[in-house]
Structure 1
C-alpha cells in the first residue's frame, strides 16, 4: 500500500496536510481497512480546540468504535458534513472526499511521520 507524499502521518493512523496555518485531517487507508465499514462519525465541534495526541472525536465501524486522536494543536475551523452524512465516504476515499476536519494549526508536533516512515510503521504492525 502506498501513502500520499503530500501529507504527514501519526502513529494513530491519521494524516494531516498543512497549507500555511491551516490543515486538513483524516484517517489513513490502513485505518479504514482495519476498521471495516465506517457507519458513524463524531467529529470535534467547529470552534473547539484540539490538542495533539488527545482524543477529539470517535469513528464507529461495523467492527468497533475508535477514538480520533488530534495530530496537532489547533482550533477546528470546519468539519466534513458530507462525510458525517455519508460515513462510507471515509472508506471509499480517505485521502480526498473522506477528510474529517480542518484546523487552524497552533503547533505541529515533532513526531509526525512522512509517507515512507508511516509505511514502515504499518509494515511493522503486520500490514
Structure 2
C-alpha cells in the first residue's frame, strides 16, 4: 500500500499533496471538533479512496453501512485489512445482520464512554 500511495503522489504531485494535507486536516478536526466526526470520517474515507488504499470489497461494506448512516473508514494501511465504524443507534446483532453478506472474518465491538474502552469480539464462521 505504501508503494501505491508513493506512486500516486509521484504521478500526481499537486493532487497528492493536497489529498495528504486534507487527510491531516480531517484528523486534526476530529480531535478539535468531535461533534463533526461522522462527516469527517466520510471525507477521510473519500480521500483514502482517491489515493488508492481502498478495494471494492471495502467500498461495498462502507456503502452498506452508510445507507444506515453508519460512518465507516479504513484504518491501518488500507488494502482491505481493517475498518472502523461509528454508531450508537444499532445493536451488535443489527450490525452483524447488515454485514452478513460481506466477506468479513471478524468483527470487534468497542464501547467508548466514561468507563473507558470495553472490547468484545465476534467471529464469523
TM over 0.5: no
TM score, norm. by length of structure 1: 0.25
Structure with the higher fraction of residues in helix conformation:
2
Relative contact order (C-alpha < 8 Å, sep 6+): which is higher?
A: 1
Q: Which has more radius of gyration?
A: 2
